[in-house]
Amino acid sequence: MSPQSGRCTPHETPAHGSSTDRHEESAAPRRLFDAMQAAPTLGVLGGMGPAATAHFMKQLAASVEASTDQGHPRTVLLSDPSIPDRTQAILRGTYEPLSPIRNGLLTLCGWGADLLAVPCNSAHYFIDLVSDTIPAKIIDIVEVTLSKASATNPEGAWLAATDGTVLGRMYQRRAAMMDYRLILPPGDLQKVIQETVYAVKGNNLETSSTLIEEVARKLWTLEDIAIVQGCTEIPIAYDMSGLPPCRSVSSVDALASACVNELQAFSCTSENPQSLPANEKRSEPDTQIAEQNL
């Protein structure tokens, strides 16, 4: 600092930075905040089950082409393992999971979610009943999984899903609409598939991998076609078994990829909100829907 003027000379550095430096430093967080505000938010309703949710989050990260943290989508996760068993409710013909699933989705919307994903196939049996009451788009795990299956295995596939998902016929109906050949396993193998799912939920991963390998090899003896993993626990067991990835279609991977694609599309359209169709513009949750109607 020049003792005569009390100002910095060209060769000196201010102790606390110049006004220009301070302006640039204060503007950086503002630019970051503006970018965060513009980016769409993915809401994930998980806990059905916890291991499947963790696997989905891992696959979501793997589906993004990013070299930094900032290149990944902003995500809010509500993991609620207290939601009643979806398969058991479907088998009984009751609706205990319906209200907590809907409430969870509305909570995520309240947290700012622009797009919703639920990494549980059987949960979509109940989601289909209330999807029109949710003010954000919900990615249909059944639709995106079968779309991937038809693209990669046009000859058809086996369905490996819970008893509830099979009884709920979500996959069968969608496959029929797509004119896609989807085959249900024999009853004895379906029982083993259900055991596989609960083995994963119980953290008995070695048992689950043994069970799914038994199922897969017997199915391939009957007909050598791919297996649609229509339950988000099954990819965990399948991956541990060492079975060839190319012989299956994971609903977890399909959902993760669809989320990334939808978020990218949302980013483009959100720059021009007027280009969005009226039914895709963000609205507040309809709190007037009576719970007794659920």
Question: What digits encode the pLDDT tens for the residues 96-105?
Answer: 999 999 999 9
Contact 170, 125 (CB under 8 A): yes
* The pLDDT value given to residue 147: 98
State both tokens at 206.
């070695």
* The pLDDT value given to residue 213: 98
* The pLDDT value given to residue 37: 53
Segments of 178-270 assigned E as strands: 182-183, 226-229, 248-250
* The pLDDT value given to residue 268: 73
* The pLDDT value given to residue 6: 40
* The pLDDT value given to residue 279: 39
* The pLDDT value given to residue 253: 98
How far is residue 122 from each of residues 1, 107, 113, 140, 207, measured CA to CA in Å? Answer: 71, 20, 22, 11, 22
* The pLDDT value given to residue 267: 73
* The pLDDT value given to residue 27: 47
Number of other residues whose CB lies within 10 A of the CB of residue 157 = 29
Contact 235, 250 (CB under 8 A): yes
Q: Which residues of the chain have pLDDT under 50?
A: 1-36, 274-294
